[in-house]
Structure 1
């Protein structure tokens, strides 16, 4: 047995609500994708130390158009039984109080990389569903339940469970209320595990912010009653204001290569102690079973660890490479995401000009329907993005370039557009909290191709351009505080966009490459 030092988070950038699963000698983590498609991102590892992007599960047509910010695909759960992978997820259509429209679905596949079955509708009574396969062959479906009658802002009323009939492809029988939650409230993210003579129910409580926590209950019968761990919560950073990992919760459990146990859980790393611009990330930590049968962190506390130990069968060393380069030869690299629509050839065209990505224009940056933005997660506090583009706008309503995007109310855009007096120009726009501002700096661009560069270092963003590969970079502008790109359920994305508010698909921009360089000095 070997002990390997691992620095958290193991999945950097927007990778929330991790669900960990072991099948054979391979480990998988699935994370929430919210309004970004393809949906349900999956990473894999052979030893819990080094993780690689593997696939996205929701690659079929998913109707997310018009879904509000912070809705769509929540808290996927993976399980494996009967030679099949099972994936449970929620498609949230509205979170406006007092109601919540959250539809739960099940899909299956013989391979984690698909193809996956058509979705089976389960229910809509609450979000964060999961599926437990009992040793007697029965399958149990769990979810948080939402009660609009509650007077609190968050109306999570506990955890319910119902049997799933795989032959009928539907829920059957009685609905059991198995946990009311604790005083921490906001009870969600249920997972059941069988260990020894008990069924263990792991839940998230306290909300996904500062008070986020992990709570455990247990019962000798699957339907309860469940007894609460007297020393709850098992994990929280709510009493650890100096910890570099905050908002710790939403955990799932797995047995490691040497027989030890670990939880994967959600955390954030607030920039300058203020805001988590990278979004909610994924960490890992060892846990132990006590003599009286409860689950505890192996460090003897309830605190998350920035640096932890993972026990492996062979010596290993953690390697994290956040770099990304797509030169647009033949097909898009699979790590790209788009907002509420799939990145496909109808608007991400690689055939018309070989070696180039042609982005056909979509609606405005605030659209929740046809926003043609192709983007990747920001995974570093310090990074540089570069690209080379060709674009010939004819009106001020046509624009294309590099977009830093949290949501339709918070973004930074360096883009080429048209000015009635100057012709083709380069500009910067900003939306912070829905307040739109346009930089006074306008640079005429006479030549065909243009190179763009954005460098973000902490809270400062700098924008550069040059007219050829051999020219020195010239600074276009600087934003001193980009913390408005943090907040909500997702993290910041950076990518390429093309918009036309005059006509649908009225123009296009072409890009010869896109490169992201992560420059964080420490893991």
Structure 2
């Protein structure tokens, strides 16, 4: 068994893995993208299929107003008493910190919830509120039948260690009520940024796995163990059990935030997040992805990697030619924040088309009509056909290469002062305090237009043509695709997602003028390294 790493390419961070019989499931973070949490399924740890996004209604998740890279953090998926249990954080406020990150209070809002279901692809329960003391909650089901909620503890006070350790509290699995007092069981190691806890029981030991070192190039998986649930916990004598912090040339970087699963044959595997930097800019436009690696338990009872360094191979290129003939969006697509998709798009108002209603600007944190899929390779070619007749300059629709509200490139169809149809690029860049640039306006032919975006590593180019025409009109500029990454950022803002490409429609007049998209073809090109 040799998985192609990453097994979940593109933005799929913070994996939580569980086995139920012969079936493996991985849940990953979705942040501000809706519906919340992606769950993939496999029977062999090699081939994975998206089977559920369980947080799909307002009684479970409403992220309108959530800042960029907030929303759903680090879901934890477990199985107990015949049910799947999903614990997750909804981050409502992150807050811009000072440049050095050390001055002043750091006030943030992390709300933790629990949902459950007897089927992975079923209708999950309404969300039950648990606590708000920190993020990355996880469940541990002990051998005695009791269940425990863990999470990292956030300390907002000035001159304190923000990541203040791991706390635990008993949880009533019938009601979600937390019992007794929370107890801090682990302060972390000198690597700091102690988060992402998972707890396991093996040979009479409680093994605590945590993410440390921050989620960038210093990321790592650390383990500690204790004979007692509440500690004290002894740290692994070898230091981190998995990290790329000391191998800057390794193909997988940012390795950390892991979770363990055991096969029916008794093998132990770790699912963990990673990043693949662009060769020239060293930026991870694909975001934080999920990889997997075989582990071994030593004679001394400690876990170690079965291979000396993380293995990396190129996943097979994707070719997706999606139309909009069915009653639901194709599985690859998501939208932003709102639990009311009917307000931003329709698949029935014009059969065979995805109709986007012009809403707020793409940079809004509330309700914008933007439907997109993950970028999962360094090179891709996207084409779409849009039927759109803007009435004035406040209306625009088209194709967008998007990271968040502070960085995107939008090839838009809009109108000039005399109502003439134009094609123009709006680029929002993470420069200084933020920069919005409008490219030259190019006259566009009447009727439906095909739009095209081609990405080759750091370079993005746009083109358009009348529907059915043979030749493309290429815009002369090359746009910087590497800004669609965690590494390109405004100072102090969180960046934890990845690049998307999709369709958008905005109407700043408030009239909701719609755009109709006939198809969306996403094809990855060879030569990704």
Give the alignment's TM-score, normalised by structure 2: 0.93
- Say whether 1:402 aligns with 2:399: yes
Displacement after TM superposition at 1:138 (Å): 0.2
Partner of 2:261: 254
RMSD, aligned α-carbons: 1.6
Write out per-residue CA displacement over residues 210-265 of structure 1, whole angstroms, 9 at most, x where no aligned residue: 11011001112222221111111111111001111111100000013532111000
Q: Quick one: distance in 2 between partners of 1:520 and 1:280?
A: 21
Is residue 464–residue 477 contact of structure 1 (8 Å, CA) maintained in 2?
A: no
Matched, 1:427 2:421: no
Which residue number in structure 1 is paired with residue 101 of structure 2?
A: none
Instruction: Quote the offset at 1:323 in angstroms.
Output: 2.6
Aligned residue for 1:463, secondary structure, equals strand
Q: Does 1:100 align with 2:108?
A: yes
Q: Which moved more, 1:328-337 or 1:73-82?
A: 328-337
Matches within 5 A, 1:220-231: 220-231=227-238
1:135-214 map, 5 Å: 135-149=143-157, 151=159, 155-214=162-221
Matches within 5 A, 1:36-75: 36-61=33-58, 62-75=61-74
Contact 1:461–1:480 (Cα < 8 Å) also in 2:
yes
CA-CA distance at 1:149 after TM superposition:
2.4
Listed one character per residue, the Cα deviations across residues 20-75 of structure 1 (whole Å, up to 9, x for unaligned) are 11111111110000000011001111000111111111111122111111111000
Gapped runs of 5+ residues in structure 1? Answer: 308-317
Matched, 1:513 2:519: yes
SS state of the match for residue 144, structure 2?
coil
Q: Whole-Å Cα distance in 2 between the matches of residues 478 and 377 of structure 1? A: 24
Give me the whole-angstrom Cα distance separating, in 2, the residues matched to 1:204 and 1:242: 21
- 2: CA distance between counterparts of 1:386 and 1:102? 39
Q: Residue 134 of structure 1 is aligned with which of 127, 133, 142?
A: 142
> What pairs with 1:327-346 in structure 2 (closer than 5 Å)?
327-331=323-327, 332-342=329-339, 344-346=341-343
Partners of 1:485 and 1:522 in 2: how far apart?
A: 17
How do 1:292-307 and structure 2 match up within 5 A?
Answer: 292-299=300-307, 301=308, 303-307=309-313
2:259 is aligned with 1:263: no
Take 2:497 and 2:198, find their aligned partners in 1: how far apart are those partners?
Answer: 23
**1:296 deviation in Å?**
0.2
1:314 maps to: none
CA spacing shift, 1:207–1:7, aligned 2, 3 Å: same
Q: Following superposition of structure 1 onto structure 2, how do residues 5-44 of structure 1 map, counting pairs within 5 Å?
A: 5-44=2-41
Q: CA deviation at 1:476?
A: 2.0
Which residue number corresponds to residue 455 of structure 1? Answer: 454
- How far apart are the structure 1 equivalents of 2:423 and 2:264? 53
Aligned pair 1:288/2:296, yes or no? yes
Question: 1:217 and 2:224 equivalent?
Answer: yes
- The residue that corresponds to 1:313 in the other structure is none
Instruction: State the SS of the aligned residue for 1:483.
Output: helix
Cα distance change, pair 411–522 in 1 and its aligned pair in 2 (3 A): closer
> Which residue of 2 is the match for residue 472 of structure 1?
471
Provide the residue aligned with 1:325 in structure 2: 321
Does 2:255 align with 1:234?
A: no
Deviation sequence 1:142-190 (CA, Å, 0-9, x none):
00001122526x6011000000012342101121211000000010000
- SS for the counterpart of 1:5 is coil
Where does structure 1 differ by over 3 angstroms across 4 or more consecutive aligned residues?
Answer: 318-321, 520-523
Structure 2 residue runs without a partner (length 5+)? 98-105, 487-494
**CA spacing shift, 1:446–1:521, aligned 2, 3 Å:** closer
8 Å Cα contact 1:460-1:478 kept in structure 2:
no
Comparing both structures, which one devotes a greater share of its residues to strand?
Answer: 1
Question: SS of the counterpart of 1:386?
Answer: strand
